[in-house]
Amino acid sequence: MGLIPESVIEEILLKADIESVVGRYVSLNRKGGNMWGLCPFHHEKTASFSVNPSKNIYKCFGCGKGGNAINFIMEIEHLSYPESIRFLGSLYGVEVPDAREEAGNEERREKTKRVKNLLTEAAKFYYKQFNDPEVGVPARKYAQERALDKQTLDHFGIGYSPDSWDALRNYLTEKGYTEDEMEGSGIFKRSEKTGKLFDLFRGRLMFPIFDSFGNIIAFGGRTLKKGELPKYINSPDSLVYNKQNHLYALNFAKKEQSKQLIVVEGYMDAIAMHKAGFRNTVAALGTSFTDSQLKTCARFCEEIVFFFDADGAGQKAAIRAIKMMLAYLSKLSGLKIRIKIAKVPDGKDPDEFIREKGADKFAEVVKNALYVEEYLLERAYNDNFDEGKGIDKGRYQDDICLYGSWMPDDIKRSTMANEAAKVLGANPGAVLNRMNSLAENEGARENLNNAREIARQKAEDLKNRNAVNEQPGYEEVDQAQEAEQPSEPVNTYTVVDTASDDEIKLFAYALSLGPVLADQKKVALEDVLRPDDFSGDSMKALVKSFLSVFDANKGVSYARMSDFFRRVTINGVPAEDVMYNECTKADSAPDINVKRDYYLGYLYKIRISRVNEIEESLISQRMYASTQEERSAAEEKLTKLSEYKEKMRKKMGEL
């Protein structure tokens, strides 16, 4: 069953109101009773993303994604259900017990713990090797050349991997770690020829990579041999590490509680800047800056200052990163963060500049960083200016109009067009029209790709909903709280998702009644809906889930039920789409007594219909019974059913 107590889930859904959760990522405007904004999950120009504060849910009428606050965090942060609950718990002050081992996740949890401990042992090994009087000589010599003092080296846990194929492997074997654990750590490789495991890092200065909580999750290694390539080797993604989701030195930088983060490209640049007092600095991890890293930065600051290498590759990386970030910010309109680009004079990297000019001069470089639109204006001009020939207006026009088309802010795009028009000697309106045209063409291409992807995702979603584990009582399994999908294939069958209009309305009114359903003065115990009142597997599953989380004092919130709606279809349509419309109608009933009467009316009607079906079967049994005993048994059942049906009719008449 569930990993996290139902009371905790309800408390989080109560405190984490959907408007504030979504508002951290999407700019919302009120229209009527709902809030509207641009969907963060697909490209669009007209807002089709709706937030319903009264039901505490969101729904995009473009791509179809919807649910409660927990579901939103799952989608936007790419987290599992339990991880999303813990994420919201930390934001809204709800303590979430860590009981993952109770649901069969103990093995994976223990494996993760072992790998983290292994990496910590590896860091200790590298640190000892660095300080070994003989083995660590090359590493200490390099550190001295880079002006790294002992305090800095110890602060960042800098180490050295000896030039050996098995030194670390032998050390960890003695510590009791298995080859499977070593291979899962990402710091070993297996030989294709011999099949033996060998150390990934050999003869390199070692940089432990920490997560934001200070746990070692990976390593980076710089060669100490002249001419050896690659200069840097980084841990691949592993059980505990995904390079796109982490930033080097973030565990230190976040402690500064600065409103600004500085992002550099290399470990040494980050270390040099921390040493010089710029302790709000982080570095990307051997990859282009990603949207996940941008989102991570936004959690800790309001402004990001980027330093890219001055060489051609670095400047190309800057343009790629800017395009990615502007596109991402246009989708996450609620992510309010300022982006600046800084340039170190004379093409130097931050580490080199600080060593030559000092920290005060570097502080001026940070202060003089350009906002992204200013950088793009300058970049387009400099890239197309020749001392002897002047500005190449044709190429400048192509570049600046392309860059302007990336800007999600209309005012900033207009400003860029005005500045570009001065250089081109053109009408600002014409330049702006060109930028808008490029943006629309790019948007059209993206919309086409999005439409295909949305259609594929919707089909896949429906397929996954209708294929369920072929085990009795599948409806009772709270799949929403399962952290991991089963690794072994299971036999599946297609559920029966049919439901009559009366059944759908009955469930909608039951949900809308809330705690009144448990008030026996209003609703008799025998009149509480049951799974057997419904014909299809999907509705039976939903009713079982509803009853399992029902609270006599509060009922069940629509937001909580949306977790279960997301798992099934009703008549081939996502259950949340069907139930949203019906629950909205049920909620509009003039008072609770009218709502209760509607509920009871549909219940009695359905139960009478069920009795009629059973009666037809019993009449047939009586007609073809081979013995008097069988006929008598059928007649007895028919009598009881007739009495029950009459009772239902009488109750209907009293409504």
228 and 251 in a single domain? The answer is: no
181 and 293 in a single domain? The answer is: no
Choice between 626 and 571, residue whose per-residue pLDDT is larger:
571
Listed residue (311, 266, 335, 470) closest to 22, CA to CA:
335
Among 207, 241, 275, the domain boundary falls at: 241
Sheet (strand 338-342) strand order = 281-283, 260-264, 303-307, 338-342, 370-371
Q: Tell me what pLDDT residue 143 has.
A: 94
115 and 253 in a single domain? The answer is: no
Q: Is the pLDDT score of 31 beyond 60?
A: yes
216 and 302 in a single domain? The answer is: no
Q: Integer distance in angstroms from the first to the last C-alpha of the chain? A: 39
CATH number at residue 322: 3.40.1360.10
Q: What are phi and psi of 52, to 5 degrees?
A: -105, 100
DSSP annotation string for 296-336: HHHHH-SEEEEE--SSHHHHHHHHHHHHHHHHHHHHSTT--
168 and 254 in a single domain? The answer is: no
237 and 249 in a single domain? The answer is: no
Q: What pLDDT, in 10s, does the model give residues 372-388?
A: 999 999 999 999 998 88
What domain range is 13 assigned to? 6-98
198 and 311 in a single domain? The answer is: no
Would you state the structure tokens that stand for residue 332, as one six-digit string?
């996450």
CATH number at residue 160: 3.90.980.10
66 and 201 in a single domain? The answer is: no
Q: Is residue 524, in this structure, part of any structural domain at all?
A: yes
432, 417 Cβ separation under 8 angstroms: yes
Going from the C-alpha of 466 to that of each of 13, 257, 568, the distances in angstroms are 27, 47, 6
Q: Is the pLDDT score of 471 beyond 90?
A: no
82 and 117 in a single domain? The answer is: no
Q: Which helix (H) or strand (E) covers residue 381, if one does?
A: helix 372-383
State the DSSP code for 261. E
- Average pLDDT value for residue range 470-490: 39
Q: Report the range of poorest mean pLDDT among 193-202, 397-406, 624-633.
A: 624-633
pLDDT tier at 114, thresholds 50, 70, 90:
very high
Among 67, 98, 129, the domain boundary falls at: 98
510 and 649 in a single domain? The answer is: yes
Q: Is residue 446, in this structure, part of any structural domain at all?
A: no
511 and 640 in a single domain? The answer is: yes
Q: What pLDDT, in 10s, does the model give residues 285-338?
A: 876 788 888 888 888 888 999 998 877 778 888 898 999 999 888 877 667 789
Handedness of CA 362, 366, 372, 374 (dihedral sign): negative
This prediction's pTM: 0.68
167 and 142 in a single domain? The answer is: yes
Q: Tell me what pLDDT residue 613 has.
A: 87
Q: Give the count of domains, the chain.
A: 4
Which residue is listed with tokens 């009527």?
Answer: 32
Q: Which helix (H) or strand (E) covers residue 65, if one does?
A: none
Neighbours of 543 (CB within 10 A): 22
Among 189, 219, 241, the domain boundary falls at: 241
Q: Tell me what pLDDT residue 83 has.
A: 86
| C-alpha angle 428-433-436 in degrees, rounded to nearest 5 | 125
Q: Is the pLDDT score of 223 beyond 50?
A: yes
Q: Characterise 163 by phi-psi region: left (phi > 0), alpha (psi -120 to 50), beta (else).
A: beta
